[in-house]
Copies of this chain bind each other. A is one copy, B any other.
Amino acid sequence: MRADAQRNRDRIVEVARALFRSKGFDAVSMDEVAKGAEVGAGTLYRHFPTKESLYDAVLEAWADRVNAAVDRALTLDGPAREQLLSWLSDYAAMLTEHKGAAARITAALGDPGSPFAAKCQTYLGANQRVIEKLDSALRPGVEAMQISRLVGGVAAVVDNSELPADAAASMLAIVADGLLAS
């Protein structure tokens, strides 16, 4: 990639990250991103052929943080319930960090053609690790996809309705208790 192209790409992602974070996916227009990054619309669309692909680039750094959160939760001293709850709330918090991300990523969970497919694999892998570690404490037959969708659903509701942290926590507690063996 030519040096000017790389500079422009970096600037676009940086500007887009700030805009998406503060205003949410829908409320940011591509024109706005182009103007903010001081490039033309053509340049923006050459780097990112759709708005979703730009969003994907903005969310790039998340995979590492997801894995770190799993590691942290699973090495906690304490009962399985506490480890599970810690992971679920970290997971939900990461999903709601950017407005609109939770619904979008969760919708892409079963769609290999989505621009978010790589991120979904990370999430599914993280939940798979949780299942393997907590195994016997969990409801028999529970799958990574179910956890991903349940928590994604809760996160999407929290995000959409801009709920406070305690509302999110109480819903996650219900999900966690449902996931634990009864």
- Interface bits A114-155 vs B (CB < 8 Å: 1, else 0): 000000000000000000000000010010001001101110
Kindly list chain B residues whose C-beta atoms are within 8 Å of the C-beta of A175: 150, 174-175, 178
The yes or no answer to A70 lying at the interface (CB within 8 A) is: no
A160 at the interface (CB under 8 A from B): yes
Alpha-carbon distance between A173 and B111 when the two chains are bound, in angstroms: 24
Asked if A75 is an interface residue, CB under 8 A from chain B, the answer is: no
The reply on A5 being an interface residue by CB < 8 A is no
Q: How distant is the Cα of A50 from the Cα of B139 in the complex, in angstroms?
A: 45
Stretch among A10-18, A40-48, A55-63, A102-110 lining the B interface: A102-110
Of B111, B163, B167, B178, which one neighbours A178 at CB under 8 angstroms? B178
Identity of the chain B residue whose Cβ is nearest the Cβ of A108 in the assembled complex: B161
If the complex has contacts A107-B161, A160-B106, are A174 and B178 also in contact, measured as CB distance less than 8 A? yes
Identical copies of this chain, number:
2
Q: State whether A171 and B152 are in contact (beta carbons under 8 Å apart), knowing that A106-B157, A160-B103, A178-B176 are contacts in the complex.
A: no
B-chain residues with CB within 8 Å of residue A110 when the two chains form the complex: 161, 163
Residue positions of A touching B, CB distance < 8 A: 103, 106-107, 109-111, 139, 142, 146, 149-150, 152-154, 156-157, 160-161, 163, 167, 170-171, 173-179, 182
Taking A174-B178, A178-B178 as given, write out 19 further A-B residue pairs in contact, using a Cβ cutoff of 8 Å, ordered by the A residue number: A103-B103, A103-B156, A103-B160, A106-B161, A111-B161, A146-B170, A146-B171, A146-B174, A150-B153, A150-B171, A150-B174, A150-B175, A153-B154, A174-B175, A174-B179, A175-B175, A176-B178, A177-B178, A177-B182
